[in-house]
Amino acid sequence: MSLLYFVWGSTYLAIRVGVEALPPATLAGTRFLVAGLVLALISLARRESWPRQWVQWATASLVGVILLVFGNGLVCWAEQTVDSGLTALIICTTPLWLMSMESLVPGGERLGLTDALWLLLGLAGIAILVSPQLSSGKASSISGVAALVAAAMSWSLGSTIGRHGAMPKSVLVASAIEMVAGGTGLLTIASLNGELATLEPARVPLAGWAAWAYLVVGGSLLAFSAYSWLLVNARPSLVVTYAYVNPVVAVALGVLVLGEPLGPTTLLGATITIGAVIAATQSRSRSAPPAPRVAGGSELIAEGETV
């Protein structure tokens, strides 16, 4: 969990720096395609079991597109106009959306009245957080906030499908397929919207390449693989605890490194939002039964914790 807590918290800063140097779909697409190909090579060297059924390939590819194209892709697009700390605070509501979607799955954890109240409180926190952007009337700010809410919902949907769908047994293989599918989808978008045609790699500053490299190694190869393992080996209420710490790390880095503002409205909204997420997930963790464990994940997470 330490990877998700701290590495993913810092990726919001890396994305903010990255999108100032590289177009958003290009940044995300190349990041995930390279990381996915590296994971595929590692899995082949380790003789991991690749799926023989088309449904496993299709499910993993679908999860990759939802998580990375609609989830991470929208985050990258939004961070062109939205601060990294605010982005993390909006995305931290993912656990609340995940609980809602889990309740719709047969055998999933039900969404009770208390859970619904926490969801509403979390949404109220978001409303406070984004009130300055909405009151400004800028179309870019409003569309950026809307994109981040859609990204949180997309990440929850992809996570739910990955948890309950027919996925490859090897987490390493599943992560490789997801990243290649998501990266391909993002680069297709980058080609269609003209990003690739206008890209000049020689003009990209060193800070942009450094952010890209950090996202590939830390955010994709290590943290995303750890998240994929947790999806099938732990309760949703445990998996989403990374959302408690990520926004704190992201806000702190945004203030210290980029000089992003941290006013009373942000502090109030952040307290309400994070408090609602903590209360909801802690309530679930006390009542939910342990999740089944599957083969293929223990070695990967052990390696991730030692890096």
User: In one letter, which amino acid is 127?
Assistant: A
Query: In whole numbers, what is the pLDDT of the chain averaged over residues?
Result: 83
* Rounded CA separation 224/213 (Å): 15
Contact indicator for 12, 219 with CB cutoff of 8 Å: no
Average pLDDT, stretch 107-118?
77
Contacts of 81 (CB under 8 A, 6+ apart): 138, 140, 141, 143, 144
Domain range annotation of the chain? 2-306
* Rounded CA separation 108/164 (Å): 9
Count of residues for the chain?
307
CA 233 to centroid of chain Cα atoms: 18
pTM of the model: 0.83
* Rounded CA separation 174/82 (Å): 31
238-263 in b/e form (b: 16+ CB < 10 A) is bbbbbbbbbbbbbbebbbeeeebebe
Contact indicator for 230, 294 with CB cutoff of 8 Å: no
In terms of pLDDT, which residue wins out, 16 or 5? 16
In terms of pLDDT, which residue wins out, 14 or 139? 14
Q: Which of 135-144, 201-210, 255-264 has the highest mean pLDDT?
A: 201-210
Tell me, what's the pLDDT at 225?
64
103 C-beta neighbours (distance < 10 Å), count: 15
Which of 90, 84, 131 lies closest to 251, judged by CA? Answer: 84
Q: Is it the case that residue 6 has pLDDT exceeding 90?
A: no
Assign 54 a pLDDT band (cuts: 50, 70, 90).
very high
Assign 7 a pLDDT band (cuts: 50, 70, 90).
confident
